[in-house]
């Protein structure tokens, strides 16, 4: 095992800024969505992913990868959304092991109701705080981090 490459002062500053911002942003988005729409931030992301998918449905394994959640964690969330009438599950005719999550009309209506407040808060807390150059640097830098992690991700998640 090689020597540890400790973070220098600027690297530590960047890491701490990222972690602090991520945690605060996620907490604030979660609070706003629960208060305004009765769903968590993760549930909003699940509904949004389903709304963007063909026929508003995704195989559960694909959805778990898309929202970076464990299969068991996603199963729990889908159960919650299903009880609320926002999502339904359907079996795959060609593969009896496969299950799809399908966005219901009620789920789409809730997503459409929740989106304006969610986007307004994203804009207030992040987008409008940054200059265009900072926003470009953030998107480029985090985009590259994301790309590299997706390359090394769980073999069960395919592109």
> pLDDT tens-digit profile of 103-140?
999 999 999 999 999 999 999 999 999 999 999 999 99
Query: Which residues are CB-neighbours of 55 under 8 A, at least 6 positions away?
Result: 102
pLDDT for residue 154: 61
Tokens of 137: 């640097």
19-56 burial, b for 16+ CB within 10 Å, e for fewer? eeeeeeeeebbbebbeeebebbbbbbbbbbbbeebeeb
Rounded-to-integer distance, Cα 55 and Cα 88, Å = 13
Averaged pLDDT for residues 81-98: 92
Rounded-to-integer distance, Cα 62 and Cα 71, Å = 10
Residue 155 pLDDT greater than 80, yes or no: no
Confidence of residue 2 (pLDDT cuts 50, 70, 90): confident
pLDDT for residue 157: 65
Please report how many Cα atoms fall inside a 13 Å half-sphere around the Cα of residue 124, on the Cβ side: 9
Q: How far is CA 115 from CA 24, 33, 53, 157, in A?
A: 19, 9, 17, 27
Tokens of 38: 């009765």
Choose between 117 and 159: higher pLDDT: 117
Residue 158 pLDDT greater than 80, yes or no: no
> pLDDT tens-digit profile of 59-85?
998 998 888 878 888 999 999 999 999
pLDDT for residue 149: 83
Please report how many Cα atoms fall inside a 13 Å half-sphere around the Cα of residue 42, on the Cβ side: 15
Rounded-to-integer distance, Cα 106 and Cα 63, Å = 19
pLDDT for residue 159: 45
Rounded-to-integer distance, Cα 6 and Cα 110, Å = 46
């Amino acid at each position: 095992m090689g020597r540890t490459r400790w973070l220098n002062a600027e690297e530590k500053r960047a890491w701490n800024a990222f972690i602090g911002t991520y945690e605060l942003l996620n907490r604030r988005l979660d609070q706003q969505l629960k208060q305004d729409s009765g769903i968590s931030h993760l549930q909003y992301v699940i509904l949004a992913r389903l709304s963007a998918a063909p026929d508003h449905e995704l195989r559960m394994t694909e959805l778990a990868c898309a929202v970076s959640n464990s299969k068991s964690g996603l199963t729990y969330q889908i159960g919650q959304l299903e009880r609320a009438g926002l999502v339904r599950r359907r079996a795959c005719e060609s593969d009896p092991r496969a299950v799809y999550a399908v966005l219901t009309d009620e789920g789409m209506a809730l997503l459409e109701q929740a989106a304006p407040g969610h986007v307004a808060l994203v804009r207030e807390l992040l987008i409008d705080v940054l200059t265009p150059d900072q926003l470009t640097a953030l998107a480029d830098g985090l985009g590259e981090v994301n790309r590299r992690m997706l390359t090394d991700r769980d073999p069960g998640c395919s592109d």
